[in-house]
A and B are shown apart, each in its own frame.
Chain A
């Protein structure tokens, strides 16, 4: 399989992530969309790594996974607190920074 197939899949996944990120209202869904975008990028990195025969791309992927794990921990904690304080997971309700 040529690398372009992987890249196309990566682009589709990333696009789905963006759409979910912008249009969904549930915070957890938005969070998952972000994870989806991160993994779409991971896929592209691995594809390039394979095509060029270099390991750097895969090393990057590990870094991204580690950061994503940390982010998931922090992010879920924040979401938990929002849910507890506001009895809601709707992103529209979180607007304290408004003008």
Chain B
């Protein structure tokens, strides 16, 4: 019971790695930095695996397992401990974060080799892991918020890793600021929780919520849920706060993989699932979650159709897939949301790392229009990328097939037919844009100077993580395989204890029995058919008739331009928020408040003191006898004063 007693070990390992590399890495050879970074995360993964083993033997009554280490904040009636908590949900998150994170670390030792700031990169990466693990294990909202802000900070540091490039520095700032907007909602939610329940510990809060009936009007619980969701919208890049994620592509590719797969964006979904007890008590908030998720899934997929930067296509696909996860949470299928989070972590990390491998091979080229024909040149990258693409498109028996179809089925079966249709359309688009990416990059004739670029397959320390992730992308969903013949979904069953209370509050009217199973299979068939259509269209456009897409773009110029410019949302936000704020800061806060008001007051005080001193120094005549006169006058004044006082 070593790790179960000392949960902090899992946190301490990556933190130690970050500290060692951050403090001494600059003077260390690459080998040592590698050993510390990969070793600390690898050890954290082993600790998480050991925790999983120990946790399995824990009696159900002791779940969630909470360990409080020391009081962290005590002020009046408020008290928050440094307390960590483990339940099935946390276990899943810990395994995904440490496992995928570890693979990305290994990959990064190859990808980042020879780049400036190598030690700094790994120090940040380890710190990122630390905050994400803290977020996953926190036992109260206050500590959760520390991890929440920590991953925001690390994403800022890593997106802006190439900070000498203006666009990278801007992207880092954008990510941080957009996240702050969501965090503001999250912070308000925490305040409201403390005000309502007098504590921020998960256990008492969820118990207190559980004793109330579901809120059908707009009350305090609905407000809390909506504010929490505002935080999740920022962190998990949903409409309307998704704009930071595509720009986050400015960071090195392993960072993109880490942000999109294991850490950061997963935090929002995790938090909503963690607060499932609160959300189910607010049906209105649930509807908001489901609709936002579904709209985002479709909206981001449409933008992904026409993007030409390989990493941006993947970025929009992440936003779209996160939308699916929120859709699942919104219809009450929290376990399915987490299931998709896990499979998505596998295949999206794979896709990013494989894309990074292709970019690496082409010496930094990211434009799909200047790729092509890479299949034979970098076969391992191609094979693993294909596995990831099949998984995300939902090809039968791949991991994405089980998780995405489960979400679609849950949406349909819980009566959200409109959302189901939209999500289904998004699934079609997903298959199309992913295969478009693969065909453009790996098939056809090369569209780059073959002699100018020295094409090379990536080194083994980059290929090995790809292969492992490819295996996970294929097999990661097989826990749900028995569903196909009417059996249980083992993943859902594992997570069931976490969501027991939520399930009793808002029992989902799921159809059951033979007929329902037949219906479920039918729905699965429909979803697979959609993916197949997407695949076929992509094949038709980009293999069979490569001129067709350009002609289509020519014919539908207006919608094409709209999509290519991402619905002009960045421009809209720029005009609505950024420029007015910049004007306010410049003209009012700087030129008026700072220069005139504050500087004026400070300079005025200084001028007053100077003038006063100037007039008073006339008393200093330098004449000894005048000093003597002052002394005597002073003595006389004091004597008179004392005399009057005594009398």
Interface residues of A (CB under 8 A from B): 18, 21-23, 25, 30, 91-92, 94-99
Contacts and interface: CB of A to CB of B under 8 A. Distances in A.
Contacts of A18: 632
B418 to A, nearest CB: 89
A96 B628 contact: no
Contacts of B622: 95-99
B545 interface: no
B87 to A, nearest CB: 80
A99 B624 contact: no
17 contacts: A18-B632, A21-B628, A22-B632, A23-B625, A30-B624, A30-B628, A91-B624, A92-B623, A95-B621, A95-B622, A95-B624, A96-B622, A98-B622, A99-B617, A99-B618, A99-B621, A99-B622
A24 to B, nearest CB: 8
Nearest to B619: A99
Contacts of B624: 30, 91, 94-95
B629 A98 contact: no
B5 to A, nearest CB: 75
Nearest to B627: A97
A23 B618 CA distance: 21
B62 interface: no
Given A18-B632, A22-B632, A98 B625 contact: no
A95 B623 contact: yes
A74 to B, nearest CB: 16
A85 to B, nearest CB: 16
B115 interface: no
B620 interface: yes
Measured as residues with beta carbon below 8 angstroms from the partner, the interface class of chain B is 10 to 19
Nearest to A94: B624
Given A91-B624, A99-B618, 10 more contacts: A21-B628, A22-B629, A25-B625, A30-B628, A94-B624, A95-B622, A97-B622, A98-B620, A98-B622, A98-B623
The 10 closest A-B pairs by CB, nearest first: A98-B622, A95-B622, A97-B622, A91-B624, A22-B628, A21-B628, A99-B620, A22-B629, A22-B625, A95-B623
A38 to B, nearest CB: 14
Contacts of A95: 621-624
A96 B620 CA distance: 11
A23 B629 CA distance: 9
A99 B623 CA distance: 10
A43 B621 CA distance: 34
Contacts of A91: 624-625
B611 to A, nearest CB: 16
Contacts of B632: 18, 21-22
A21 B625 CA distance: 8
Nearest to B617: A99
Nearest to B635: A18
A93 B618 CA distance: 19
Contacts of B620: 97-99
A68 B459 CA distance: 94
A91 B625 CA distance: 8
Contacts of A22: 625, 628-629, 632
Interface string B445-464: 00000000000000000000
A18 B636 CA distance: 12
Interface string B576-617: 000000000000000000000000000000000000000001
A30 B624 CA distance: 10
A78 to B, nearest CB: 12
A87 to B, nearest CB: 18
Contacts of A98: 620-623
Contacts of B618: 99
Nearest to A21: B628
Nearest to B626: A22
B483 to A, nearest CB: 97
Nearest to A97: B622
A22 B620 CA distance: 16
A23 B628 CA distance: 10
A91 B627 CA distance: 12
A19 to B, nearest CB: 10
Nearest to B623: A95
A95 B622 CA distance: 5
Nearest to B636: A18
A89 to B, nearest CB: 12
Contacts of B629: 22
Contacts of A96: 622
Nearest to A33: B628
A22 B618 CA distance: 20
B120 to A, nearest CB: 59
B638 to A, nearest CB: 15
A99 B620 CA distance: 6
Nearest to A92: B623
A93 to B, nearest CB: 10
A6 to B, nearest CB: 19
B567 to A, nearest CB: 74
Contacts of A30: 624, 628
A96 B622 CA distance: 6
Contacts of A97: 620, 622
Contacts of B623: 92, 95, 98
Interface in B236-257: none
A92 B624 CA distance: 7
Most chain-A Cβ atoms within 10 A of its Cβ — which of B617, B620, B623? Answer: B623
Nearest to B622: A98
B251 to A, nearest CB: 65
Most chain-A Cβ atoms within 10 A of its Cβ — which of B620, B621, B624, B632? Answer: B624
B276 to A, nearest CB: 80
A39 to B, nearest CB: 17
A91 B622 CA distance: 10
Contacts of B625: 22-23, 25, 91
